[in-house]
Structure 1
């Protein structure tokens, strides 16, 4: 297969997962044609800097590119940018594009990612989402002109933007219907401390409050956010960060399971010759024995490597220890494993700085570990996670 130059792999989605799949295929000796289809007209950028360095204006947009010129050349792909896939026929092995062209394939990789959820009335000017480079630049421009931001959603993205906006000097209010946001993702200790860090930096919170609607002016620009309890907040700039929806609407082949992403087996295979990677992929974890769909940057790269290996016939199940991080102010919070409500939480305070480690045990085994400014201290726990959960090293 590696030396067969007649083969074609079509990667739908010029995302981190899509690009990483192409790079991994070339590293493994794939000699066939690689076609990368991307909805955005520009070459892809990396998303983690969007809510931080790009939004703050501390990084030139060009430096957020996923591929350097050297890596771009090594991928040696045919790029179809500015077009979208509108259909997939697994029987004919064809991808239909919105410019009326059809791409045949031997293998197709679905890496179309996710899109931000919206709210009713969210089409007013001044209401933003954050997913693309253009989104980040537009929000930066808005925060430069208007020093007042309401963030709807106290998840990782919402709080990262809140931190960046405070660094830019903006007044920030974060609204979330959950009274204990991020508790299920970070555990009680870290979630509580993270909110305390934001409050100490001047961020205001309206927790346990939903959104009743938006008020705009005659020009169609947002002016206020009305909460479900009747409170009204001045809001010349609003960020909606209430989660994402997998981009699967274009997948109209009945062979595919597209409930909550693209359903795959433990090899990240959705059907014969059809694979999925990144935010859009929901696969069966062979060790944890459950279906997972993970919207984090590390998973995009790791899953792309697994997909490429299996396209090359390696037949290796994808069995990672889930890992993610968030950077807010001077704090880096990292989590390996899956924190669940039944896990017992134990805190290990470190002697230096403000770092600490939290461990989470469930059914007599280490289920997850969290490190707050303690990356080195986390390493042995990640090894323990692999050993106790019988996950092979990659």
Structure 2
């Protein structure tokens, strides 16, 4: 059974939550999934039986008493996925630490929202994760490590990591993740990413890099030198990285999906470079300022013409607005006109079966959702 307790008025949430819990907690009930924003159920008779087989647990850290999690650590040791949603908090929750370290088959840990600011708290969390190092396959954190705990996660398959640009990343240097297949990084220094990618032993198939500092193509070089099985790539490009990007297209022969963010790059040259890609590539997402697309419609048309003998593509184009250049209302009007021109062009090539499907400025699109 899955149970969620939320969306009530703050003053009534705890009372309603407990009453609902009482309806379900009995000797015949077994919960598999539980999300608890702010409800103390530990005094309700029958909780040991009901929560002993939980596989997924999510909670709002700031709203839950640490004693509840410590109680759960005694009751539930078979949790497979833990999700913690929290905001800035400098208080070490011994309940979270205990709950993590007692799990016998923990596969995924997801820390959502902002990072814990103090190092002792991060250190305590990291040391608790080490206790589950043999089973953890998915990890999402929003802080720079203060220990070498990632080196213990030898079976880690997916890593999502982000932090502030001025964080200390010394503990991520020389980390080896031999089973890593999926990497999503935000605000991570290029040299740290280069080192991490080099130490993944060639298994990476999906890389998403957000808000990176330009490094003249060194990171791109590390990707194509160490990721021969790469399927999906998302990153922001600059003009001085085109040569290495061309090498990536040539060397990554299993590339299926490509998402390029290039607000100011030379799109006509970039579209020309795509002819060097492998025959497997057919999923694209392009993001640029709307006026850049206006100047490059003819190059986009040429790109589509040259795709005639290849797999019908999936194409998603985003047209961003330049602020401070025109009045917002005028920009929106121009963006609307361009969107219509783009739609007419893409529809023309969809009729020709060069494009299988397309989207312009669609909301709700996530990275590589077309590969699911």
* TM-score, L = length of structure 2: 0.24
* TM-score, L = length of structure 1: 0.23
Which protein has the larger Cα radius of gyration, Structure 1 or Structure 2? 2
